[in-house]
Amino acid sequence: MLSTDLADLKAYMADNPGAVIEDVARERNVTPRAVIEALPSSMVRMGGGEHFVAAMQDIAAWGEVTLIVHTDDAIFEFTGTVPAGEVGRGYFNLMQPKGLHGHLRHERCAGVAFVERPFMGKTSAFVAFLNADGGIMFKVFVGRDETRALRTDQLVRFRQLADRIASAA
């Protein structure tokens, strides 16, 4: 990306921090990772992809969250507890027979982004797992309480995880 394009993207994201990351990436022909990295520095912290397993193990203890997979064709949302997982046969396997389960290509994770920003009039906080192509594998959002505020206990866990992973990058 040219430095003028990067400066323009940074200016756009400073003015529109709640823009849908995937839409901005498509409209500007950049990766979602570039869009996340263009957010104001006060809104994003980055860690390396080698922290995928540690991050997922921590998230499994947070309680009810929302996991989102956003593709060109659909936005899948799962609200519930992310199950514990373990590495086996080349995948990070979510170890639960029902609900959210599956096999994640953890070795393709090239970054873990911790994002706190306004979105649709509310503060949001999520962990984005970024793949080797600059795409978003999936996002895990801090849950909300009965008043639709971010759950304080999860926000504390989110920030502690960001402190550990972003400082280790």
Would you state the pLDDT for residue 95? 87
| pLDDT at position 168 over 80 | no
Residue 169 CA: distances (Å) to CA of 52, 98, 125, 126, 146: 12, 34, 20, 18, 35
Give this prediction's pTM: 0.94
Three-state SS at 116: strand
- Residue 60 has a pLDDT of 96
**pLDDT for the residue numbered 1:** 58
pLDDT on residue 12? 96
- If one compares 3 and 45, the residue with the highest pLDDT of the two is 45
CATH code, 43-168: 3.40.1570.10
Please state, as a whole number, how many other Cβ atoms lie within 10 Å of the Cβ of residue 60: 17
Residues contacting residue 118 through CB under 8 Å, at least 6 positions apart: 17, 18, 124
Q: Report DSSP state, residue 83.
A: P
Percent of the chain with pLDDT over 70: 96
